[in-house]
């Protein structure tokens, strides 16, 4: 949707749960029907609002995991132990349940494919979600630009979309995936085994002169470290897009 038309103001809609997919022990993808969904762009998010019987409302933002090509909207949610909204979304919702949703939201943290522009994606924990929408869009649309993902997780069991990422990376169509496991690694692990730092990014990133665009998403501390490292590596400020998730389980 380049050259976006004038939007109406955002309003709340009702989303209906069609299916739930357990991604990891703490993470679930919600497959939703949203009547008259206007479509979205990879990287955008929605706001979700829950209303208790006493009228109390809680609202949180969740990134859209599905690419624009999918018929249904998918949100991937990580359950936070002290969360107000995520435990309900992950543990309580059943097919047929409905909740309020507002979106799609965003225009800065959105990937617009360009033929000569490689993509570098950096994910910390559940920060993978909007980047996965970008990866899935790249696959669905047959976009050939080179793409690299650097994905930081605590353990292998915490890697969201692990099988899908393995499969996509094995297709040989220009997607490369590097994992770093920060807390524990399985026997024989030959990926990275530490928190993302400047040296790791220098190893994996497209060189700064290559005209790549970088998208960084995850906990705020992760994003700050990664964005600073990219800037010091020589990425221009307008080629580094960031989205901070605030506190997460990681």
List contacts with other proteins (CB under 8 A).
Answer: 4, 6-11, 45-47, 61, 102-103, 105-110, 219-221, 224, 237, 241-248
CB of 222 to other proteins, least distance (A): 9
Which is nearer to other proteins, 1 or 144 (by Cβ)?
Answer: 1
Which is nearer to other proteins, 31 or 101 (by Cβ)?
Answer: 101
Which is nearer to other proteins, 120 or 139 (by Cβ)?
Answer: 120
CB 151 within 8 A of CB 165: yes
Going from the C-alpha of 149 to that of each of 121, 135, 221, 246, the distances in angstroms are 5, 9, 19, 21
Tell me the C-alpha distance between 67 and 49, whole Å.
22
Give the strand pairing for 147-153 and 119-124. Answer: parallel
> At 22, is the secondary structure helix, strand, or coil?
strand
CB of 221 to other proteins, least distance (A): 4
Which is nearer to other proteins, 7 or 163 (by Cβ)?
Answer: 7
The token pair at 203 is 């190893």
Tell me the C-alpha distance between 174 and 27, whole Å.
28
Tell me the C-alpha distance between 184 and 43, whole Å.
29
Cis peptide before 104 (omega within 30 of 0): yes
CB of 13 to other proteins, least distance (A): 13
Which is nearer to other proteins, 8 or 209 (by Cβ)?
Answer: 8
CB of 7 to other proteins, least distance (A): 5
Which is nearer to other proteins, 168 or 229 (by Cβ)?
Answer: 229
CB of 218 to other proteins, least distance (A): 10
Q: Name the burial class of residue 102, with classes exposed (0-12), middle (13-18) and buried (19+) by CB atoms within 10 angstroms of its CB.
A: middle
CB of 167 to other proteins, least distance (A): 29
């Amino acid at each position: 949707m380049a050259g976006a038309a004038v939007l109406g103001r955002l309003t709340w809609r009702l989303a209906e749960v069609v299916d739930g997919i357990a991604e990891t022990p703490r993470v679930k993808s919600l497959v939703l029907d949203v009547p008259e969904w206007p479509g979205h762009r990879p990287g955008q998010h929605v706001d979700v609002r829950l209303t208790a019987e006493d009228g109390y409302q809680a609202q949180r933002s969740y990134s859209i995991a599905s690419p624009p090509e999918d018929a249904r909207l998918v949100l991937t949610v990580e359950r936070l132990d002290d969360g107000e909204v995520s435990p309900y979304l992950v543990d309580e919702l059943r097919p047929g349940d409905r909740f309020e949703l507002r979106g799609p939201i965003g225009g800065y943290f959105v990937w617009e494919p360009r033929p000569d522009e490689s993509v570098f994606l950096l994910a910390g924990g559940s920060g993978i979600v909007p980047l996965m929408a970008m990866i899935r869009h790249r696959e669905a649309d047959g976009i050939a630009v080179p793409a690299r993902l650097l994905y930081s997780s605590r353990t292998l069991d915490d890697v969201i979309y692990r099988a899908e990422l393995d499969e996509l990376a094995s297709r040989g169509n220009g997607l490369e995936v590097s994992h770093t496991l920060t807390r524990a690694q399985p026997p024989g692990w030959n990926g990275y085994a530490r928190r993302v730092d400047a040296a790791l990014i220098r190893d994996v990133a497209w060189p700064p002169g290559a005209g790549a665009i970088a998208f960084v998403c995850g906990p705020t501390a992760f994003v700050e470290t990664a964005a600073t490292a990219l800037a010091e590596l020589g990425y221009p400020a307008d080629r580094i897009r960031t989205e901070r998730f605030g506190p997460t389980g990681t």
